[in-house]
């Protein structure tokens, strides 16, 4: 089974983000980057499928040259191959990203293509669906369980108040929801082996001008709370403030 996992390099969710001087990007100073957590779950799911059914796992990432660090982590976890589409930066939007990933995946053997449900920086949850559409293969989103048998994959996925069970013939794509797989920690042997494995690199096409970032700013600082009184006597004033100032009533 040939499994391809798309990984995105994102700022660590614990990092303190600052806007760069240009007002349109994140200041990279002191910001640690990681594999987007949902993508890491997708990678673990691919590794478990390979361990059970055989095959190869290829990690593919679109990002700056520094993204080799995240790809090395994927190799340390157990991926067989890594591919970096080096991006010069700039806004691409989900469609521009999907086109480049699909072009990289199309000529490679791919029975299963895996994504995280969404990246934790852009939160678009669109790239996986777009890539599957460009490749002409079905996709099951929000997968929480994958079982392979007889050339088909049975996927459990979250639905409104229920769990759907979907069977698709391969090749197919899937996006990982929390609960699909708990990412493993790379072993010392895996880390040492990953340092020697080659990473296939190619230059990505320049970003399309169809998407541009006009400005980026931090959320406004929250104002402190205000005590309007105590007990039931404070209710009329609270209601007045909610109606007149907060305008939520």
Phi, psi of 230 (to 5 degrees): -130, 145
169: phi then psi, degrees, rounded to nearest 5: -80, 145
In this prediction the pTM is 0.84
Residue 190 half-sphere exposure toward CB, CA atoms < 13 A: 14
Residues in Cβ contact with 95 at an 8 Å cutoff, skipping those fewer than 6 apart: 126, 130, 210
Per-residue DSSP letters for 54-104?
--EEEEEEEE-GGGHHHHHHHHHHT-SEEEEEE---S--HHHHHHHHHHHH
**Is the CB of residue 35 less than 8 Å from the CB of residue 121?**
no
CA nearest to 107, candidates 43, 60, 44: 60
- Say if CB 205 and CB 89 are below 8 A apart: no
Query: Mean of the per-residue pLDDT values for the chain?
Result: 91
Percent of the chain with pLDDT over 70: 98
pLDDT above 90: residue 26: no
pLDDT of the residue at 156:
95
Q: Could you tell me the domains of the chain?
A: 2-203 (3.40.50.620)
The per-residue pLDDT for range 107-127, each reduced to its tens digit, is: 999 999 999 999 988 888 899
Of the CA atoms within 13 Å of residue 93, those in its CB half-sphere come to 8
pLDDT tens readout for residues 88-114 = 766 678 888 999 999 999 999 999 999
């Amino acid at each position: 089974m040939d499994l391809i996992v798309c990984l995105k390099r994102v700022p660590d969710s614990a990092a303190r983000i600052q806007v760069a001087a240009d007002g349109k990007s994140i200041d990279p100073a002191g910001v640690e980057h990681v594999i987007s957590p949902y993508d890491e779950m997708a990678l673990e799911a691919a590794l478990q499928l390979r361990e059970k059914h055989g095959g190869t796992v290829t990690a593919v990432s679109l990002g700056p040259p520094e993204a080799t660090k995240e790809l090395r982590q994927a190799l340390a976890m157990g991926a067989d191959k890594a591919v970096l589409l080096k991006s010069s930066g700039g806004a691409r939007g989900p469609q521009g990203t999907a086109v480049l990933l699909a072009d990289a995946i199309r000529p490679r053997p791919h029975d299963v293509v895996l994504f995280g449900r969404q990246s934790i920086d852009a939160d678009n949850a669109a790239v996986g669906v777009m890539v599957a559409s460009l490749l002409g293969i079905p996709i099951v989103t929000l997968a929480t369980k994958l079982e392979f048998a007889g050339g088909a994959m049975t996927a459990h996925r979250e639905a409104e108040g229920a769990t759907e069970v979907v069977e698709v013939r391969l090749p197919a794509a899937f996006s990982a929801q929390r609960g699909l797989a708990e990412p493993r920690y790379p072993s010392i042997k895996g880390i040492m082996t990953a340092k020697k494995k080659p990473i296939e690199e190619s230059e990505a096409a320049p970003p399309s001008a169809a998407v541009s970032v006009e400005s980026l700013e931090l959320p406004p600082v929250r104002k402190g709370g205000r005590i309007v009184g105590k007990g039931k006597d404070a209710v009329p004033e609270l209601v007045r403030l909610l109606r007149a100032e907060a305008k939520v009533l």
